[in-house]
Amino acid sequence: MRLAFPIMTDMNRWHENTILLGVTGGVAAYKAADLASRWTQRGAVVRVRMTPSACRFVQPLTFEAVTRQPVTTEIWQPLGAHDRPEHIGSGDDADVFVIAPASADHLARLANGFGDDAVCLTVLAWDGPLVICPAMNDRMWKNPAVQANVQLLRERGAHVVEPGVGHLACGSTGPGRLADLDVIDEQVNRILCAGELS
């Protein structure tokens, strides 16, 4: 049963916010479309960035349909609305950057400062709140290298939404599935509210 959406105060309306949503490769990528849809329905502007692997699981057209915004899938795209490279200009008026799902590979890329896909490159030029939502096999999640990358990202200020425990697409049961969307939603809501109050 889905929990009720968190209610934002009048001082912090969703329609006054812009959310960057990074989608990386993994079965849970389809759940990101639900996040994009619910945020758009509340009035937020949602701009999606996808890695090539994410595009193998969910087509960019899905996100364009639910957000009514163009989706960035390549690092060599034309100048954005701000007459600056899209990976830089896209963050000029955004309030939060959410990566859901974040694969094990992408956690490593983020921790090491890679800039070879639309999500990583945008993160490098981003200086606002970053929410990372890992999703992967339970053994991958427990791997010391993955945990070290997560810890490093936390130390740099990222908000990490721990994965949930349950049945995984690979057939295993354990920690690693994308956190419940209401949990992710609540974290984003807290950040947006804090931004209004600061």
Q: For residue range 55-97, list pLDDT tens digits in order.
A: 999 999 999 999 999 999 988 765 555 555 555 555 567 999 9
Q: How far apart are CA 27 and CA 148, in angstroms?
A: 23
Q: What is the dihedral of CA 125, 69, 40, 3, to 10 degrees?
A: -70
CB 160 within 8 A of CB 135: no
pLDDT at residue 165, as a whole number: 65
pLDDT at residue 197, as a whole number: 45
pLDDT at residue 4, as a whole number: 46
CATH number of 70's domain: 3.40.50.1950
Known catalytic residue at 170: yes
Q: Beta-carbon neighbour count of residue 126 at 10 Å?
A: 18
Task: Give residues with Cβ within 8 angstroms of 98, minimum separation 6.
Answer: 19, 20, 21, 22, 35, 131, 133, 184, 188
pLDDT at residue 166, as a whole number: 64
The reply to whether 56 falls in a domain is: yes
Q: How far apart are CA 38 and CA 49, in angstroms?
A: 17
Which residue, 37, 98, 93, is CA-closest to 66? 37
The reply to whether 184 falls in a domain is: yes
pLDDT at residue 26, as a whole number: 87
The reply to whether 2 falls in a domain is: no
Those residues of the chain that have pLDDT short of 50 are 1-12, 197-198
Q: By residue range, what is the domain housing residue 171?
A: 17-197
The reply to whether 98 falls in a domain is: yes
The reply to whether 12 falls in a domain is: no
pLDDT at residue 177, as a whole number: 79
CB 91 within 8 A of CB 97: yes
Which residue, 99, 96, 94, is CA-closest to 153? 99
pLDDT at residue 5, as a whole number: 47
| Domains in the chain, number | 1
pLDDT at residue 78, as a whole number: 58
Q: Which of 55, 120, 170, 193 is catalytic?
A: 170
DSSP letter string, 30-61 = HHHHHHHHHHHHTT-EEEEEE-HHHHHHS-HH
pLDDT at residue 93, as a whole number: 76
Hey, what amino acid is at 124?
A: L
Q: How far apart are CA 151 and CA 148, in angstroms?
A: 5
pLDDT at residue 59, as a whole number: 96
The reply to whether 153 falls in a domain is: yes
The reply to whether 1 falls in a domain is: no
Q: Beta-carbon neighbour count of residue 156 at 10 Å?
A: 10
pLDDT at residue 11, as a whole number: 39
pLDDT at residue 168, as a whole number: 55
**Mean confidence (pLDDT) of the chain:** 84
